Amino acid sequence: MHMHKLEKIWLIFGLAALIVFLSTIGVSAFYLGNKPPSCLTTVDPEKVDQTAPFNKPGLHKVEGKDWDYELVFVAQAFAYTPTQVTVPLGAKVKVIATTKDVVHGLEVAGTNINMMLEPGYVSEYTTTFDKEGEYLIVCNEYCGTGHHLMSSKIEVKK
C-alpha cells in the first residue's frame, strides 16, 4: 500500500509521541507507585458496619506500615461517614473506602484522590497530604436524588 513520504513522517512522529506518553505514565505507575486505585479486596456490602476497618470510620494512626495514617470512609446514599476530618500536614495516608448501597464516587476536589466506590469492593489510595488547606469531598458518580448533596470535608493543617 503506497503511503506518502510526509504521511510516514507524521505517523512516525505521532507514534513516537504516543510511546513517550505511555512510557512516562507506565514508569510513573509501575516504578514510582502511581497506579490508579485498583484495590482487589472485597467486603459484604450489607455487613460494612460490622467489618473492620469500616466499623471505625475516620482517621487512625497506624504503626509499622508504609503509611502513617489510615483514613476510612463509609459511603451511603447520600452521605459519607465521617462528615469532616482533619489530617496533619505531611502525613502519608491510606484512604480506604467502600459503599453500603449503590455506586458512589469519592473525589477530594483539587487532588488526585478520585476513585469509584462499588458495592462489594474496597477502594484504596495512598498519598502524602503535602499541601495545607480545606478540601471538599464530592460524590462524582450519580447515586440518586441527593447525589449533589453528598459531600464531606478534609482539613489539612500543621
Q: 64 vs 149, which CB is nearer to other proteins?
A: 149
Q: Which residues pair with 76 in a beta bridge?
A: 79
Judged on CB neighbours under 10 Å (0-12, 13-18, 19+), 138 is middle
Q: x/- string (CB under 8 A) for other proteins, residues 3-42? A: xxxxx-xxx-xxx-xx--xx-xxx-xxx---xxxxxxxxx
Residue 52 interacts with other proteins (CB under 8 A): yes or no: no
Q: 64 vs 146, which CB is nearer to other proteins?
A: 146
- Selected binder of other proteins within 44, 49, 132, 155 (CB under 8 A): 44
Compute the distance between CA of residue 67 and CA of residue 62 in angstroms, rounded to an integer. 8
Strands, E, within 104-150: which ranges?
104-108, 114-117, 123-128, 133-138
* Interacting positions 107-146 with other proteins (CB under 8 A): 107-124, 127-131, 134-136, 138-146
